[in-house]
Structure 1
C-alpha cells in the first residue's frame, strides 16, 4: 500500500466529486488546509457547499450532474488527480453514477496521475479479494460498487488507481450531512434500554469521515505503493464484536449493560415470518454472514498520521451524542 511517510508535494489540480456529502466535504477541507493544490468540485447544487469553499482561491466550482460529467470536460480542464466520492444509493442511477460516470471521470485524469475511487467494503472478502456474492446477490448499489472495482482497475496501466473501501462510516456536522450509520446511532439512543439487554453474533469495523479525509489528503502526495497500478484499501478501525460495540455505546450514554438475552437464528426467522418481513437475497446473505471483519483494515495511524476518532466514544461525541456525566 502507498503508506510511506515520505511525500512528494508538487502543485496538482484535483477533480473532486461528492463534495457536498459526509465524506466529500471533509476531504475538500483537509486538502485545502494541508496542501497547495487546486481543487475542481463538480456539484449539482453549489448552495449545499460550505460557504468558505465558494470563495476559496484554490477551488473552482463546476455545476453539473455527475452523470453528465463528460459534457463538462472544457470547464473541468486538465487534472492531475481525482477523488471520486459521489454515490447513488439505488435504482438505475446507481449504475449510471457509481459505474458509468466514475469511468468517465477517471478518464479525465492525465496519464501518470492518480485516481481515488470509493467502493464499499461490502464487496470484498476478508482477505481483500472481490466477493462474488456481492455481484450475484447484491442490491443495485452493491452490484454497481462491485463492478466499479473491475472497471477502475482496468484503467490502472494508465493511472495510479487507489480503491477506497470504507467500512461503516460515522460522521457529519448535522442532519443533512450525517452518514447513514451516524443517523442510526443517533436514533438508537431511544432503544438503548432494550438493546443493552440483547446479545448477538457478529463483528465489524467503523471509521470516522474525518479519518478517511486524512488518509486521502495524505495519499494525494504519497509515493506509489509496492503494487504497480492498483491498490485496494479497506478503511476501518480495529473490528469490534456486536456485543462489545453495544457495551461501548451504552457506557458512553451512561446505560451499562446487564444480563443479556442471546439472540438466536430461530428468533430472527420467527420475527421475519410473524411480521411478514420481505428480505432481499442480499439481506439474507448478510444475515447468514455476520463476521464483517477484514484482515487488513487501515486507519490514519498506518500512514503515520494522528487519528481524529480512535475509539467509539470519540466518534459518538463528534456526531452530537454527549458522554454521560459521572
Structure 2
C-alpha cells in the first residue's frame, strides 16, 4: 500500500472520532514534553505506554483523553488491543547500558510493536533514533555498526530494518542531536534531561575549560522543540517522503544551527558572569591522545571514533522553523534561561 493510500485508509479508520496517538516512553523527558504538547494543542486521545505511572506529571492520569498502558516494551501482549487501535505512533522509548536489554528494546520490541499495529488504521509512525549514527548527509555511518556501543549499534540495526519494513512509507525517523530539557532546580514537572543535568556538573570546571580550545562542533535541541516538531508531524496528513536522496523512511535530524565547543564554553562562562580569555591551549588530536594515556582514561572504540570525527554536524537539520513553527529555545542562552541556570551563586550539589 502506498503512503497516500495508507493515509487515506488511516483517516477512514479514524473517521467518526479523534486520532488515537500511541506514545511510548511517555514518562521520559521527551515523552512528557510531547504528551503535554499534544494534550494542549490537539483533541487526540493519547495512549501512553510507560513503566511507572507515578512519574507522569504533565497530565492527569484519570483524564478522559488519557489511557495508560502500564508495562514494559518487551511485553506488549497485554496491550495488543489498545496498540492496534492507534492511528499514529510516537516511539520514544529506548534502552542502553546492557547489551541484551538494548537488543530486546531497541530492535526486537520495535518489530513487535509494528506487528501489533493495524495497517488499515495506521497513518504514521514517528520513530526516535539518534543523530550520532548519521553522517553529515544523513546517511548511516559505517562506523556505527563497526565501533558503536550497544546503543549505537542497535539503533543502526533498527534503522536498516525499518528501511525495508512493509510499513516503511509510513515511518518518519527522527534523529535528535544533543537534548536539553527540564530545569537544574526542582519545581518543573518535566524530567530533566541528562544534558541539562550535565550543565550543572560542568560549572566547577569552567575555570579550566575556558583556557582550552578545540576544533569541534555540534547541534543541540530542547525537548520542547522536539515535541513541537513531532506534534506537528502527528497532526498533519502523512505524505510520501519529500526529502531528496532518501529512501522510503523519512529522516529528520532534530537540531538547531551548529555551534562550536569553544562557543559553548564561552557562553557558559559569560552566563555565569565570568571572563573569557582571548587565547587558550589547543587540544590537538595528539595532545588529547597523550592526556588519555597520561591520565589512564578508559575509552572504547566509539569514543576514539568520536574524537577523530570531532564535527557532528548535519545538513539539513530540522528545528521547528523548518515547518513554519517557532522554537522554544533556539540558542544556548535560551536553553540556560529556560533551565533556570542562575548567573551567579552556587547550585545545590555543585562547588561553583
- Normalising by structure 2, what TM-score? 0.85
Q: In the alignment, which of 335, 339, 342 is matched to residue 315 of structure 1?
A: 335
Alignment match, 2:81: 74
- Normalising by structure 1, what TM-score? 0.92
* 1:83-103 deviation line (CA, Å, top 9, x unaligned): 110111221111111111122
* RMSD (Å), alpha carbons: 2.2
Written as runs of structure 1 = structure 2, the 5 A alignment for 1:124-203 is 124-155=134-165, 157=167, 160-173=170-183, 177-203=191-217
Written as runs of structure 1 = structure 2, the 5 A alignment for 1:17-36 is 17-36=24-43
User: How far does residue 318 in structure 1 lie from its aligned partner after superposition?
Assistant: 1.9
* 1:90-123 deviation line (CA, Å, top 9, x unaligned): 2111111111112222233332520001100011
2:256 is the alignment partner of 1:249: no
Q: Is the 8 A contact 2:123 2:238 kept in 1?
A: no
Structure 1 segments of 4 or more deviating over 6 A? none
Q: Secondary structure at the match of 2:76?
A: helix
Aligned length, in residue pairs? 319
Q: Is the 8 A contact 1:167 1:205 kept in 2?
A: yes
Unaligned runs of 5+ in 2: 1-10, 243-247, 346-352
> Which protein is richer in strand relative to its size?
1
Q: Is the 8 A contact 1:192 1:255 kept in 2?
A: no
C-alpha separation between the residues in 2 aligned to 1:152 and 1:82? 14
Q: In the alignment, which of 306, 313, 335 is matched to residue 286 of structure 1?
A: 306
Q: In the alignment, which of 292, 312, 329 is matched to residue 272 of structure 1?
A: 292
Alignment match, 2:238: 224
2:104 is the alignment partner of 1:93: no
Unaligned runs of 5+ in 1: 1-7
Moved more, 312-321 or 115-124: 312-321
User: How far does residue 51 in structure 1 lie from its aligned partner after superposition?
Assistant: 6.3
Q: Secondary structure at the match of 1:67?
A: coil
Q: Is the 8 A contact 1:13 1:80 kept in 2?
A: yes
Alignment match, 2:224: 210
C-alpha separation between the residues in 2 aligned to 1:96 and 1:155? 18
C-alpha separation between the residues in 1 aligned to 2:142 and 2:78? 34
Alignment match, 2:118: 110
